[in-house]
Chains A and B, each alone.
Chain A
Amino acid sequence: MIDASSRTRESHGATALWRVALVGRPVFARMVLAVAAGVAAAGAAIGLTATSAWLISRAAEQPPVLYLMVAITAVRAFGISRGALRYSERLASHDAAFRVLARLRSLAYARLEKLAPTGLAAFRSGDLLARLVEDVDGLADLWLRVLIPYFTAGAVATVAVAGIWLLVPGASLALGGSLLFVGFVVPIFTIKVAHNADRRISGARGQLAAETLEVLGGAPELLVAGATEARLAGLAEIDRRLTAAESRTAAGTGLGALLAGLAGGAAIWLSLVSGIAALRAGTIDGVVLAVVALTPIAVHEAMSGLASASQHLPGLAAMAERLLDVMSTRDPVEEPASPDPLPIGPYGLRTRGLRARYTSAGPDALVLPDVDLQPATRMLVTGPSGSGKSTFAAVLVRFIEPSAGSVELVGSNGTEDLRRLAGNDVRRIVCLCAQDPHIFDTSIAENVRLARPSSTDAELLVALEAAQLSTWIDSLPQGIATMVGEHGVRLSGGQRQRLSLARALLADAPVIVFDEPTEHLDETMAQSLVHDLIEATAGRTVVMITHRPELAGSIAWSARVELGVGAAVSG
């Protein structure tokens, strides 16, 4: 049972790797170039050994030096070109890998762009998203560390075996057999051994990880209770078991090296023996014997990289699987085949029997009482966490499909169900200032301007002014060119929200949705932010979502909705 499931997993991994490998097709020519350079470099190394062997043996027969000139020149050429070819191979293969990386990123991005944010809800934590991105980037190693080395090794092995075949067929059989062994049997064996070792260690490793978390998580209490020492002793005992298990598996991990070494040794020994037999039979002379005996050493040295290449495979397969899992997620929103044109503004909103859920089998995340929001009026949506407030915001900007009912955009010349409109058109009209707006690692100006790249500096400053950011920006030595740092670390919570507001104002969206703009802010800051948001959006249709309704007390709302968990109450 376990075996069967692990076998299907392996085949999944192989399928995933194959599908990812196909991404490299457009860079095929460069791959061939890299492989060719690699083959030439290995060929030069083997040629150097073979011609040196020939040269020395021939020289020992003391012919006139002139007879040796060709070989001497060849040795020199091989010696110098080996380094140069190796250098070009490494550059060519890295260049190819970087180009594949660009393809991988584009493909992944094009897919993720359709999924975000609802289809990527599982990646909301920064760590998981970072791992997804690392997976995309890490998969470039499939070409750099596995495919190119393997193809290079395959070509070198074929040429070397064919060359020896012409001299001593028996020796070439030994060489060929040993190369197949090193190229395929040893890697499979190594991966299996590593897998088994992991299984033996994983129990103790899991225990250690769990206990480590307990000891660190409860550290202050343990310390004050005087129980730390006893707990550390228990941890040391688990650690001792893990270390013992690791030591036991140590013998297994070197077996790959042992097998490769034995195969290489066998090839050298058998080549020599069959060479000696050929020599005695008179089919070759002593000079060729030296070539036949020494070439396998150089060929096997060229194969030594395959061991590490195969070690990358399990990790790469896992990356490929994880990535394909995400990429094969269904689109959270279906775009209409032939979208209707937008009605003409000013715009209001109308909902009828609206419900939404994240999985088709799951419970409703949002149940909304019917709402009619007139143009240029404000609506307040409140409710505890889990009542579907953010889901409502997502429905309004077409990030999630309603499971029942509808949201309609009410224009002056008619009403359109959002589902009949193109998503990008909807988002031109309805702009969302999200709970945690993403601030890009660039300047303040760039961060705001992404809302409308064609905007002038003057328009930008007007938007920043309306968002009450001008005073702060004027105090900065570099003004709007100030870099905000990764995820906007140099901004406070309030400044991030105001920046997000400035974006919405610059985008000139007639309908603006604020999702929890006062999260992470203290009372006074929250009060002044809400006040500023309302003031800056005068004349627009506004949906304010918050779980702190007390902040919105003094504002005139034309509609109020209080959401409950699983049910909603209209007010």
Chain B
Amino acid sequence: MEGADVEVLRGTLIALAVVLTGRAVIAWAQEAVARRCSAAVKSSLRLRLLRHVALNLPDLQDGRASGEVAALATRGLDSLDAYFGRYLPQVALAVIVPIVVLACLATSDAVATITVALTLPIIPFFMALIGSYTVRRRQRRWEALARLSGHFLDVVAGLATLRIFGRAEAQLGRLERVTDDYRRESMATLRIAFLSAFALEMAATLSVAMVAVGVGLRLVDGLMALQTGLFVLILAPEAYLPLRQLGASYHASEEGLEAAGRVFAIIERAEPGGEDPDQTASASTATSQPGALLAAGVEPGPGGEIRIVGVTVRQPGRGIWAPFEASLTLRPGEIAGLAGPSGVGKSTLIDVLLGLRTPDAGSVELVDAGGTHVPVASFNRASWHRQVAWVPQHPYCFPGTLADNVRLGAPDATDSEVREALRTVGMAELDLEAPIGEGGTGLSSGQRRRLGVARALLKPARILILDEPTAGLDTESEATVLAAVRTAARSRGQAVLLVAHRPAALQIADCVVTIESRTEVTE
């Protein structure tokens, strides 16, 4: 080498510069591509999640707050970046790199190739062995660790209580003790967890050392050229590296995997109608109807009454049946009043009627002109919803104009129809183009309720369901709204279900049914 001419080396040095630059560019490309993939996957998961929740309303079933789903769909999924940016590329590297390195080694030295090939499997073997051991150890300690780490939050949350009893200062010593316990427990766990990295590093080092000893001996004996020796020695550790890094990058991606897991848990939760998640994904491109997600059912035929028979719904977490065996009949042109103290299940009964919730007992049936009973549950949900107009207890106002909000259920309604609907609920003075902000800002709570009624009146439906439409309204507005409801029943022949607390509201009802709840009997 001492005699090497610079001219001879120039080519090699240029090649080295190119390779080094190339390596940096590839590192950049890896990250950029990973980001793009991650963005695409996040988008797909997000849309599937939102579509599923918006169409199947799983939160009605288990009380999952929509805020939580929203957080999961936005920030939660961002933690997938580490999974795509680090873990997945590392998996590919762990498979490809050892093979490539072996292939390169094979071109120059058979002994080193065989040594590496024989020692490589030790790494995954060790990983699996130590991994399963530490996981078992960790799980056993997990509960203790979780309790210790939660202690600080518990104490801070209870500070007022502690101060009342003069215990806040004394708790400082206990806090220090518990944190110290937490440290010792955690360190005990970490000593074992880090052991796996230690063992892997030792295994890799020893394997490289075996290769190096062979190379060194053959160099001393003059059986190998220096170039080959250096080549083998620099390349050999690269075969082990990606496998060792796999463990570390898996750790970084766990959070993202958990978020993805939660998304799938929501998407794949079995629905009463039996939804196929794949169908949802393909539906996002097609112009399918939401009803297709429920069992493609019967079209509701023109009919007479809607009979609610013995509907009972168990309220998970409250230990009661609410409603318990509720029965009532809705007839065209008539107003049925629904009464009962709060928490008795009036809104739940409406959910059942709307097909948003499956009762634990009882049924809702449509009795057509011929006297045939058809359970509402067997209808195609979208077609059923076309027959129903609903004013929920707190009508939701979407940002946009007032007219857009009124048109929610009747997008083709003309401006004069919208104005007429607003007039019947006593809101004629408002501008159709008035902007409405997030959460209905710009409207008073009474106006929001009346907007909900106007919205329902505009929709050409044969059933009108109103959940406390006059709560919080002054007497005059209440009278206007009730008159509009009466007109809907008498002149338009709608079958009306009116939930109300106040006697004034229930006075317009043709019949009033009081429903009740019942405490669950547990053994």
Contacts and interface: CB of A to CB of B under 8 A. Distances in A.
Task: Indicate the size class of the contact surface on chain B.
Answer: 35 or more
B282 to A, nearest CB: 14
Given A59-B216, A83-B198, A91-B194, A434 B164 contact: yes
Interface in B138-166: 147, 149-166
A91 B191 contact: yes
Contacts of A130: 153
A495 to B, nearest CB: 14
B165 A129 contact: no
Contacts of B21: 262, 265
A318 B229 CA distance: 51
A132 B157 CA distance: 11
A52 B152 contact: no
B50 A221 contact: no
B395 A56 contact: no
Contacts, number: 344
Contacts of A110: 172
10 contacts: A55-B212, A68-B216, A72-B216, A102-B179, A116-B168, A223-B290, A224-B409, A239-B46, A268-B20, A286-B2
A116 B32 contact: no
Contacts of B69: 216
A372 interface: no
A565 interface: no
A250 B180 contact: no
A100 B225 CA distance: 54
Interface residues of A, number: 127
Dominant secondary structure at the B interface: helix
A126 interface: yes
Interface in A286-304: 286, 289-290, 294
Q: Is the interface of A mostly helix, strand, loop or mixed?
A: helix
B73 interface: yes
A75 B160 contact: no
Given A83-B198, A90-B190, A265-B21, 12 more contacts: A52-B212, A62-B219, A82-B201, A83-B205, A101-B183, A102-B183, A217-B396, A246-B42, A247-B39, A250-B31, A431-B164, A439-B158
Contact of A254 (B32, B194, B390, B395): B32
Given A224-B409, A228-B290, A254 B35 contact: yes
A393 B287 CA distance: 60
A76 interface: yes
A503 B53 CA distance: 45
B111 interface: no
Interface of A: 48, 52-53, 55-57, 59-60, 62-63, 65, 68, 72, 75-76, 79-80, 82-84, 86-87, 90-91, 94-95, 98-99, 101-102, 105-106, 109-110, 112-113, 116-117, 120, 126, 129-130, 132-133, 136-137, 205, 208-210, 212-232, 235-236, 239-240, 242-243, 246-247, 249-251, 253-255, 257-262, 264-266, 268-269, 272-273, 276, 279-280, 285-286, 289-290, 294, 397, 399, 424, 427-428, 431-432, 434, 437-441, 450-453, 486-487, 503, 507
Contacts of B162: 113, 450
Contacts of A82: 201, 205
B385 A223 contact: yes
Which of A62, A137, A258 has the most CB atoms of chain B within a 10 A radius of its CB? A258
Contacts of A262: 20-21, 24
